[in-house]
Structure 1
Amino acid sequence: MNLIKRLAGLLAVAASCSAVAAPLLSEGFNDVAALPADGWAFINNSSPPGSTGWFQGNPAFFAAADGPAGSYVAANFNNAAFGGAVSNWLLTPELLLVNGESLNFSLRLLGEGLLDRVEVYVSSAGASTNVGADFSLLAAFESPAGTGWLDRRLALSGLAAPASGRYAFRYVVDDTSLNGNYVGIDSVSVNAIPEPGTVALVFLGALALVAPRRLRQSRGLWLLAGGLAAGTAAAQAGPDGLMRFPHVQVVSQPAAPAAPGPGGFMAYKDPVTGQLTGPNPEQAALLTAAARAPTPLLRQTPPAPRPAHGGISLMLDERQARYAVVRKAPDGSVHESCEPAPGGLK
């Protein structure tokens, strides 16, 4: 009986691993200057470059989302010279990328009437820092008004197999003479959920280590392990990348309200293949510029001059035109007549 209890406890602990996300990265930005030593990369492709890059958060603008007031990473319009274009990248350390894992972070745009934009990318090319070729856009967030701190979560999907790569944040401003203010990022973490097959192997491996030799005593234990392994293998990954287990109800937390402004996701249609893909930085810039292009105003036609006799004509459609004429007689009386145009309907 003691052996059965121990095995049941061991299997229960192993099963719980399938529902708990294992953190692959956790960064609170207490010391931004130390990030390169931890594998982070800073790439400022702004044109022309300005006087700042990514730097320690300044509590004078706003405090961090969590922890000490200045414990977040920030960027501002001075990433490029006045009138230039900001393209400032912050790359995470190299990580294991698997379907179902999530990138979580807190983002704040200061705004104050000046458009700020932060884009999020992913690359499965190992430790590559080639942001022009190896990174694909996951999401973009922009606003001309202050957003406050908003918690964001992006689920990874579409990988053919687990890979090694990086996530990246990019601060974007088209023209610093017109837009760009100050942005902050805090509490970045990457969490992965173990594959169901891995958990099943843990069940069977644990049982093999301690199973009794006599078949009669072990029959119930094998049934217990087989049932748990089968239940784990029956789990399905939902469209959001989270695992769904039989007889388990999953309640999703409502998403945080979207930041004001256009924002949203982008997709690029390849003109040759017709396939939709995540745009590279240059394509994303073209899409953004097209979306912000002002809509041409319609030229209004001036009203027709009033006839000398005082009548006003109103065109109803191509089949009918009716007009009313009011005449004032010498005795002061007013007379009105309504006449159809030639060929019109009565």
Structure 2
Amino acid sequence: MFKKTCLALALVGAAAAAHAGPTLINEGFDDVASLAAKGWKIENHGSPAGAIEPWYQGNVSTGFTDLHGDPTAYVAAQYGAVAAGGILSSWLISPVFSTAENLEVSFWARGDGTPGYIDQLAYGLLDVSGAFTSFIPQAAITVVGEWTRYSFQLAGQGAGSSARFAIQYFGNGDEANVVGVDDVAINVPEPSTWALAGVSLLGLVAARRRRTQA
């Protein structure tokens, strides 16, 4: 049922957008230890599990600072969440938020840029229980060695509807290195921002139809 009702536009980009409505979630990860008290979940579904927490407070050993220059104010994940030969599945799950209105969900992510490693994130929505089996992915990305903003627009689902946002660090642990995530935000966008997103969607649909008819 959740998959049938959550309809989203995947609009990935690096440019920040203006917001007229309220901010539902604004997390800068200054204190990862406090996330659980604020309704966040951190889970490791990788196998076999390793010695490192699936998501943890950023630190100088990663080789980069947070988006604003602080050496630790971000949340990080790395290959050590699984043992050698393991498959990563480290989940960072937001508190429950209302999906009654149109929303923009955004976050910043980066890797350390070491050649030879592939660090991958998938992001999207979960139901209110936070069960990873309910995951509706919006996109999967390979993060690079600089902070980059990713976002998508979520169509309002009507009164009483709600969901969670999730980021999964996934892939072969032996081929992965480390990622950072910062400034997760869920906002009600200004009407002009949403209208532009709708025009973009119609353009994509029209282009697909032209290719089909050719």
TM-score of the superposition, structure 2-length normalised? 0.75
- Give the 5 Å matches for 1:14-163: 20-52=20-52, 53-60=54-61, 61-66=63-68, 68-112=70-114, 113-123=116-126, 125-126=127-128, 128-132=129-133, 134-143=134-143, 146-157=144-155, 160-162=157-159, 163=161
Q: CA deviation at 1:59?
A: 2.2
Give the Cα separation in 1 of the matches to 2:198 and 2:146.
Answer: 28
| Greater share of strand | 2
Give the Cα separation in 2 of the matches to 1:170 and 1:187.
Answer: 16
Report if the CA contact (8 A) 1:100-1:241 is conserved: no
Report if the CA contact (8 A) 1:119-1:172 is conserved: yes
What amino acid sits opposite 1:83 in the alignment? G
What amino acid sits opposite 2:158 in the alignment? A
Map Cα deviations across residues 226-260 of structure 1 (whole Å, 9 max, x no partner): xxxxxxxxx89526269xxxxxxxxxxxxxxxxxx
What amino acid sits opposite 1:88 in the alignment? S
Structure 1 consecutive aligned stretches of length 4 or more whose deviation exceeds 6 Å: none
Moved more, 180-189 or 98-107: 98-107
Number of residue pairs matched by the alignment: 177
Give the Cα separation in 1 of the matches to 2:194 and 2:75.
Answer: 33
What amino acid sits opposite 2:76 in the alignment? A
Give the Cα separation in 1 of the matches to 2:102 and 2:87.
Answer: 35
Correspondence for 2:187 among 191, 213, 216: 191
Give the Cα separation in 2 of the matches to 1:33 and 1:138.
Answer: 27
Give the Cα separation in 1 of the matches to 2:77 and 2:93.
Answer: 14
Map Cα deviations across residues 16-45 of structure 1 (whole Å, 9 max, x no partner): xxx713111111111101100110001100
Report if the CA contact (8 A) 1:108-1:185 is conserved: yes
When the two chains are superposed, the root-mean-square deviation of aligned CA atoms in Å is 2.3
Q: Which has the higher contact order (CA 8 A, sep 6+)?
A: 2
Q: Which of the two has higher C-alpha Rg?
A: 1
Map Cα deviations across residues 175-211 of structure 1 (whole Å, 9 max, x no partner): x23x1000000011110148x8xxxxxxxxxxxxxxx
1:170 is matched with 168
TM-score of the superposition, structure 1-length normalised? 0.48
Unaligned runs of 5+ in 1: 1-18, 197-234, 243-346
SS at match of 1:62: coil
Q: CA deviation at 1:98?
A: 3.7
Report if the CA contact (8 A) 2:99-2:157 is conserved: no
SS at match of 2:163: strand
